[in-house]
Chains A and B, each alone.
Chain A
Amino acid sequence: AQSVTQLDSHVSVSEGTPVLLRCNYSSSYSPSLFWYVQHPNKGLQLLLKYTSAATLVKGINGFEAEFKKSETSFHLTKPSAHMSDAAEYFCVVSGRFGNEKLTFGTGTRLTIIP
């Protein structure tokens, strides 16, 4: 079975400083990996996805993530945090047979300090 572990339940950074949200995955097959963001009272929005092409994936709003198979990690980064980045972030792994059954991490709440 597949799973993801988000190593921090809460991360606080100052505006303009780098963001690092950590995610480790476990899978018995070559998975697809995603990062989704959820703003308060909103649905989930896809930030980026890894599907066995380039290991460094660029997403929307300046976010990127690097797939490291040797470390089973898929950490999300952004060089400079913006106030609008404050939200809940989910690391997600696909099902063995497709992306219609996703397994979510427990989420990381990102707070931006003005």
Chain B
Amino acid sequence: KAGVTQTPRYLIKTRGQQVTLSCSPISGHRSVSWYQQTPGQGLQFLFEYFSETQRNKGNFPGRFSGRQFSNSRSEMNVSTLELGDSALYLCASSWAKGPPSDTEAFFGQGTRLTVV
């Protein structure tokens, strides 16, 4: 069974640009969550999607957005990149059938974004 796949693995962008990261969940998983990992702030929750709807949102500026497609694949977009956006972005999927659940979150290997 394939795990959570994130693409690309590495990305270098310039300040002011925008970037789109992709996450393909485990087959059958309908919930996708995104996290940002930095040395200073640790792992922080960005948002969670279920059935193409954002259900939860963390405390990030509006430059961070996401969406989920009907096949549960998710993308996250960061506009007007800042140096501080350099981080490892992790995606997690879980087999939530409906309301937020007690199921395990499976994580991808992440996309390492460097903003220069």
Interface of chain A: mostly helix, strand, loop or mixed: strand
Q: Tell me the complex Cα distance, A5–B42, Å.
A: 12
Q: What A residues does B102 contact at CB under 8 A?
A: 32, 51, 94, 98-99
Q: Does A41 contact B (CB under 8 A)?
A: yes
Q: Using a Cβ cutoff of 8 Å, how many contacts connect chains A and B?
A: 68
Q: Tell me the complex Cα distance, A106–B4, Å.
A: 23
Q: Does B109 contact A (CB under 8 A)?
A: yes
Beyond A98-B100, A101-B100, whether A44 also contacts B90 by CB under 8 A is yes
Interface of chain B: mostly helix, strand, loop or mixed: strand
8 A Cβ contacts from B43-73 to A = 43-45, 48, 50, 55-56, 58
Q: Tell me the complex Cα distance, A103–B88, Å.
A: 16
| Chain B residue with the shortest CB-CB distance to A97 | B100
Beyond A43-B90, A101-B56, A104-B42, whether A95 also contacts B105 by CB under 8 A is no
Q: CB-CB contacts of A77-105 with B at 8 A, as 1s and 0s?
A: 00000000000001000110111111111
20 more A-B residue pairs beyond the given contacts A100-B33, A100-B96, with a C-beta to C-beta distance below 8 A: A41-B109, A44-B107, A45-B107, A49-B104, A94-B102, A95-B56, A97-B99, A97-B100, A98-B96, A99-B104, A100-B48, A100-B50, A100-B55, A101-B33, A101-B48, A101-B56, A101-B58, A103-B45, A104-B35, A107-B43
A-B contact pairs, 28 of them (CB 8 A): A41-B109, A42-B109, A43-B4, A43-B107, A44-B90, A44-B107, A46-B104, A49-B104, A90-B43, A97-B99, A98-B101, A99-B94, A99-B100, A99-B103, A99-B104, A100-B33, A100-B96, A100-B105, A101-B45, A101-B48, A101-B58, A101-B100, A102-B45, A103-B45, A104-B35, A104-B42, A105-B42, A107-B42
Hey, which bits of chain A sit against chain B, CB under 8 A? 32, 36, 41-46, 49, 51, 90, 94-95, 97-107
Hey, which bits of chain B sit against chain A, CB under 8 A? 4, 31, 33, 35, 42-45, 48, 50, 55-56, 58, 90, 92, 94, 96, 99-110
